[in-house]
Amino acid sequence: MVSMNNVQVLGKVTLEPRVKTLKNGSKVAEVGLGIPENRQKDNGEWEGQMHFVDIVLWNDLATYAEKQLKKGDSALVQGMLQFERWESKEGGKRSKLKVRGLRVQMIPESSSN
């Protein structure tokens, strides 16, 4: 069976990276990314919608996020989809699709001169 798990997202950092060091010494960062989508309605008007994606970064990338990424920065993240499941404190089943970042690049804002 052939499969591929590859995703690229470009958007704005929505929250300051949350970084933790685990007992085994590994570092993990969680970063929120907002991805805008604009589309034209039937009447010709444009409407905007924002999609929010949770990004998980490990070790060197977690350190990079901690030192370099700030809320409002533009970033390109390349990685793979990661499905997480857990049980809530109330006993309910929860799940979430996240992006496990394998490469992160800040995108400089273009200046209008």
pLDDT in tens, the chain (113 residues): 888 899 999 999 998 999 999 999 999 999 999 999 988 888 988 899 999 999 999 999 999 999 999 999 999 999 999 999 999 999 999 999 999 999 999 998 765 54
pLDDT at 39: 87
Residues 6+ apart with CB under 8 A from 113: none
Domain architecture of the chain: domains with CATH: 11-39+46-79 (2.40.50.140)
Q: State pTM to two decimals.
A: 0.82
Report d(CA 102, CA 92) in Å as an integer: 31
Report d(CA 73, CA 107) in Å as an integer: 8
> At 6, is the secondary structure helix, strand, or coil?
coil
DSSP 68: H
